[in-house]
């Protein structure tokens, strides 16, 4: 059985939302000012009634060097980064820029600017001269902004698993520290209000027309909010507030509805307890996901009662700030940290008429209480679940800290590839094209799901089919995509610009983790999965996330990286085709296949670097096969994939700043 993970000190945290802004630095005391009241108010400029939670604080101006990153999400994230700027620069000074990581969660990214551009297009008006799709829309834009503004040079990626994004970002941050891949991490999340989100949730019929009422007998839906929240974790910090663990799971049930028995939620809670070395009775308070929908609240209360007992102490704080989507997990972790510091439980919405059919009732009123350990739940589209454990340090826990893991080799069992005309990597290398092959068969998916799936989801499913072990075990899954479900998103934005109702099916399939959810449902796989983006380094960061998982948990991981055709309608970049690539990795004591050493930074144009003739020839070969293929994000790993298939030792570039060493063994890679 796996040993508990080390806890990591929270040097500082900050958040801004509908209640204002707040920054904490250890070991200062806090007041429970954010545990009371609500910042929600009636929404404006919508054709339906609801309440929302806009940020009430004036946002600081963006620095000149990142002024092009003008999405609302980037502005919110910058406000939080600026609040922690001194702490972050201190960590960079202490550890070096390459040992400080940034892992952010977001669900919508810069979609608000793309909404405006599409609306201008439909009115026949020109887009702004300074519009740069790559600086505003993709999740990688958030990373670019953070790096340029503050000098991060370590690992960096955005986790985008809808409403569990920032909770899972905190889980990833702990793994990076545990696996000795960094020494400090800035983690959390940011999301902004936008028309597509508001109208999409309205189309699903789950927006409340009034203030949301989590766990109330009269509850009828959610309120949407916006905000950002960040935590700075440091491996050497001896501070009272700590990240203990994060448990992750999949429902494997439905793309938007929770498992009615809360099965996935229970698995996440159990994993959080196990990884923190906690017994259920040691949990003093749970900040519930508590959205205010009939299904979520019933299933979550059942999961809490089943896992922690019918006397569990829990509440929802979404009536204070709204559901902040990708930022919700980090914001609600902040509520837990405030509760721990103030030794006060935030009660459920005042006046709650508790649903008598709930398996356990929430705490009705805020009250003082001795708190040492809390949990914060976040559940999402695609059945993605995370439960984050936060607590107060004890001398016993600190003295019991284990040595961190030193990452070794991981082993490659299988390689996958797909692009139009080439059903697998060996066909591409041989130049044997099938001109009729325009869409992957994706036989893994049931016929109905296959018919509804986007091209991107079909590519992901095809890649999984190519590399998965024949016995189909539960298999942790990392899905990387630089741009995600762009075709689906653009179709929704066209509907929005034309004044049409948004397609409910399209909206729920527009999230970045759509493919991960569809695959888990098709296979009934409730194990870990994630979806991430990192621009040109998406391949490298997908490998890093998988390496960290294997270092901490062992076993196998499937790594799938794919993107659709370039969104040439919005970008100035040359077109590229849809493409995807995959690896099946494992951490084993004996080498069953080709080994990969750890990822390392490199200088592309340094003497002896990896940006030379061999890499150029590889990219030219790709473009000879399929015009534009070398520019596809999934092709950033092509030199590595070819080396694996051809069993060639060497160090190969993966993206713009990372490389990996291939070490062939006597076994073959399928």
Query: What is the tens place of the pLDDT at every residue in 224-266?
Result: 999 999 999 999 999 999 999 999 999 999 999 999 999 999 9
| Section 288-304 average pLDDT | 97
Please give the residue that has the higher pLDDT: either 398 or 309. 309
Residue 428 has pLDDT above 70, yes or no: yes
Residue 401 has pLDDT above 60, yes or no: no
DSSP 160-214: --GGGHHHHHHHHHHHHHHTTS-SEEEEEEEE---HHHHHHHHHTT-B-SSS--T
The pLDDT assigned to 646 comes to 86
What is the percent of the chain with per-residue pLDDT over 90, rounded to a whole number?
Answer: 79
The region of weakest confidence among 50-54, 227-231, 325-329, 598-602 is 598-602
The pLDDT assigned to 593 comes to 61
Residue 399 has pLDDT above 50, yes or no: no
3-state secondary structure at position 545: helix
| Section 290-316 average pLDDT | 97
Same fold, 8-399 and 410-663: yes
The pLDDT assigned to 609 comes to 38
Return the number of other C-beta atoms located less than 10 Å from residue 402's C-beta.
10
The region of weakest confidence among 5-9, 407-411, 441-445, 557-561 is 407-411
Query: Secondary structure of 566-577 in the HEC alphabet?
Result: CCCCCCCCCCCC
Angle at 82 between CA 77 and CA 85, to 5 degrees: 125
Instruction: Round to whole Å and give the CA distance between 602 and 299.
Output: 48
Structure tokens at 667: 């076994």
Residue 553 has pLDDT above 90, yes or no: yes
- In order of 232, 273, 315, 585, the CA distances from 467 in angstroms are 37, 32, 43, 10
Instruction: Round to whole Å and give the CA distance between 211 and 220.
Output: 9
Residue 59 burial class via C-beta count within 10 angstroms: exposed 0-12, middle 13-18, buried 19 and up: middle
Name the band, by pLDDT with cuts 50, 70 and 90, for residue 605.
very low
Cis-peptide into 633, omega within 30 deg: no
The pLDDT assigned to 616 comes to 73
State the DSSP code for 330. Answer: H
User: Cβ(316)–Cβ(215) under 8 Å?
Assistant: yes
Name the band, by pLDDT with cuts 50, 70 and 90, for residue 572.
confident
Does the annotation mark 323 as catalytic? yes
Instruction: Rounding to the nearest 10 degrees, give the CA dihedral for residues 599, 605, 607, 611.
Output: 60
| Section 458-487 average pLDDT | 95
The pLDDT assigned to 613 comes to 61
User: Which CATH superfamily does the domain covering 410-663 fall into?
Assistant: Thiolase/Chalcone synthase (3.40.47.10)
Q: Provide the CA 502 distance to its chain's centre, in angstroms.
A: 24
The pLDDT assigned to 35 comes to 66
- What average pLDDT is seen over the chain? 91
Pick from 632, 647, 554, 634: which is nearest to 596 by CA? 647
What are the strands, taking DSSP E only, across 276-409? 285-287, 314-315, 344-345, 367-368, 373-380, 384-392
| Section 508-520 average pLDDT | 97
Please give the residue that has the higher pLDDT: either 593 or 2. 2
Does the annotation mark 553 as catalytic? no
3-state secondary structure at position 449: helix
Active-site choice (289, 336, 479, 512): 289
Active-site choice (73, 137, 163, 182): 163
Name the band, by pLDDT with cuts 50, 70 and 90, for residue 612.
low
Instruction: Round to whole Å and give the CA distance between 120 and 375.
Output: 44
Query: What is the tens place of the pLDDT at every residue in 317-356?
Result: 999 999 999 999 999 999 999 999 999 999 999 999 999 9
The pLDDT assigned to 564 comes to 96
The pLDDT assigned to 400 comes to 52
How, if at all, do strands 529-533 and 477-480 pair? Answer: parallel
State the DSSP code for 539. Answer: H
Pick from 276, 278, 254, 274: which is nearest to 264 by CA? 254
Instruction: Round to whole Å and give the CA distance between 245 and 243.
Output: 6
Angle at 570 between CA 569 and CA 575, to 5 degrees: 60
Q: Which residues pair with 600 in a beta bridge?
A: 659
3-state secondary structure at position 413: strand
Residue 524 has pLDDT above 90, yes or no: yes
Residue 606 has pLDDT above 50, yes or no: no
Collect all residues with Cβ–Cβ distance below 8 Å to 133 and sequence separation of at least 6: 114, 567, 570, 571, 572
3-state secondary structure at position 562: strand
Please give the residue that has the higher pLDDT: either 272 or 45. 272
pTM of the model: 0.95
| Section 289-318 average pLDDT | 97
What is the percent of the chain with per-residue pLDDT over 70, rounded to a whole number?
Answer: 92
Does the annotation mark 259 as catalytic? no
Q: Give the residue extent of every domain in the chain.
A: 8-399, 410-663
User: What b/e readout covers 577-598, taking b as 16+ CB neighbours within 10 angstroms?
Assistant: bbbbbbbbbbbbeeeebbbbbb
User: Cβ(140)–Cβ(480) under 8 Å?
Assistant: no
| Residue found under tokens 């000074």 | 93
Structure tokens at 525: 């796989």
Residue 507 has pLDDT above 70, yes or no: yes
Residue count (the chain): 670
State the DSSP code for 527. Answer: S
Residue 634 has pLDDT above 70, yes or no: yes
Name the band, by pLDDT with cuts 50, 70 and 90, for residue 541.
very high
Query: What is the tens place of the pLDDT at every residue in 179-195?
Result: 999 999 999 999 999 99
Return the number of other C-beta atoms located less than 10 Å from residue 201's C-beta.
23
User: Cβ(423)–Cβ(437) under 8 Å?
Assistant: yes
Residue 447 has pLDDT above 80, yes or no: yes
Name the band, by pLDDT with cuts 50, 70 and 90, for residue 650.
confident
Name the band, by pLDDT with cuts 50, 70 and 90, for residue 604.
very low
Structure tokens at 312: 């569990």
Structure tokens at 434: 């099938």
User: Which CATH superfamily does the domain covering 8-399 fall into?
Assistant: Thiolase/Chalcone synthase (3.40.47.10)
Active-site choice (51, 137, 259, 323): 323
Q: Would you say the C-alpha torsion 259, 52, 39, 229 has a positive or negative sign? A: positive
Structure tokens at 277: 């070395």
User: Cβ(137)–Cβ(109) under 8 Å?
Assistant: yes
| Section 364-376 average pLDDT | 96
Residue 445 has pLDDT above 80, yes or no: yes
Residue 25 burial class via C-beta count within 10 angstroms: exposed 0-12, middle 13-18, buried 19 and up: middle
- In order of 289, 354, 360, the CA distances from 357 in angstroms are 18, 9, 8
| Residue found under tokens 């802004």 | 21
């Amino acid at each position: 059985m796996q040993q508990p993970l080390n806890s990591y000190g929270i040097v500082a945290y900050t958040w801004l939302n509908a209640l204002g802004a707040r920054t904490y630095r250890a070991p200062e005391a806090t007041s429970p000012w954010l545990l009371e009241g609500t910042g929600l108010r009636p929404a404006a400029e919508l054709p339906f009634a609801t309440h929302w939670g806009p940020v009430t604080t004036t946002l600081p101006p963006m620095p000149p060097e990142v002024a092009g990153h003008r999405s609302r999400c980037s502005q919110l994230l910058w406000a939080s980064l600026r609040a922690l700027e001194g702490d972050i620069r201190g960590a960079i000074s202490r550890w070096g820029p390459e040992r400080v990581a940034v892992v952010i969660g977001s669900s919508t990214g810069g979609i608000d600017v793309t909404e405006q551009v599409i609306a201008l297009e439909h009115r026949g008006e020109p887009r702004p001269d300074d519009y740069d799709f790559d600086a505003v829309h993709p999740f990688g834009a958030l990373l670019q902004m953070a790096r340029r503004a503050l000098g991060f040079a370590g690992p960096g990626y955005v986790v985008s698993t809808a409403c569990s994004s920032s909770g899972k970002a905190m889980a990833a941050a702990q793994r990076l520290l545990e696996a000795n891949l960094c020494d400090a991490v800035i983690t959390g999340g940011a999301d902004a209000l936008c028309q597509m989100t508001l109208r999409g949730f309205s189309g699903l019929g789950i927006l409340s027309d009034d203030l949301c009422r989590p766990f109330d007998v009269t509850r009828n839906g959610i309120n949407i909010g916006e905000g950002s929240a960040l935590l700075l974790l440091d491996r050497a910090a001896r501070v009272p507030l700590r990240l203990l663990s994060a448990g992750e799971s999949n429902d494997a049930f439905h793309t938007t509805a929770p498992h009615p028995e809360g099965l996935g939620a229970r698995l996440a809670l159990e994993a959080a307890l196990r990884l923190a070395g906690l017994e259920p009775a040691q949990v003093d308070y749970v900040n519930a996901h508590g959205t205010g929908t009939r299904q979520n609240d019933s299933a979550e209360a059942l999961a809490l009662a089943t896992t922690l007992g019918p006397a569990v102490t829990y509440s929802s704080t979404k009536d204070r700030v709204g559901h902040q989507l990708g930022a919700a997990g980090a914001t609600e972790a902040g509520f837990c940290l405030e509760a721990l510091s103030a030794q006060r439980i935030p009660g459920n919405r005042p006046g709650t008429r508790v649903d008598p059919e709930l398996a356990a009732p929430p705490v009705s009123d805020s009250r003082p209480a001795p708190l040492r350990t809390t949990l914060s739940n976040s559940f999402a589209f695609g059945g993605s679940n995370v439960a984050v454990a936060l607590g107060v340090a004890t001398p016993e826990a600190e003295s019991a800290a284990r040595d961190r893991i030193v990452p070794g080799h991981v082993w490659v069992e299988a390689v996958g590839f797909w692009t139009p005309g080439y059903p697998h990597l060996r066909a591409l290398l041989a130049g044997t094209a099938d001109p009729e092959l325009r869409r992957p068969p994706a036989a893994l998916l049931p016929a109905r799901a296959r018919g509804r799936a986007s091209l991107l989801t079909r590519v992901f499913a095809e890649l999984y089919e190519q590399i998965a072990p024949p016995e189909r075990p539960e298999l942790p899954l990392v899905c990387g995509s630089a741009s995600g479900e762009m075709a689906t998103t653009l179709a929704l934005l066209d509907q929005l610009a034309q004044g049409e109702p948004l397609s409910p099916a399209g909206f729920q399939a527009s999230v970045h983790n759509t493919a991960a959810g569809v695959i888990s449902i098709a296979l009934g796989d409730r194990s870990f999965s994630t979806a991430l983006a990192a621009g040109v380094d998406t391949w490298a960061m997908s490998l890093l996330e998988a390496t960290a998982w294997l270092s901490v948990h062992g076993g196998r991981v499937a790594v799938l990286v794919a993107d659709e055709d370039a969104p040439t309608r919005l970008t100035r970049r040359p077109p590229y085709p849809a493409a995807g690539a995959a690896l099946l990795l494992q951490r084993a004591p004996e080498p069953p296949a080709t080994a990969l050493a750890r990822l390392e930074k490199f200088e592309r144009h340094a003497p002896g670097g990896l940006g030379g003739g061999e890499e150029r020839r590889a990219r030219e070969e790709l473009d000879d096969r399929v015009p534009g293929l070398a520019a596809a994000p999934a092709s950033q790993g092509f030199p590595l994939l070819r080396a694996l298939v051809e069993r060639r030792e060497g160090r190969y570039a993966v993206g713009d700043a990372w490389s990996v060493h291939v070490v062939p063994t006597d076994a073959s890679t399928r």
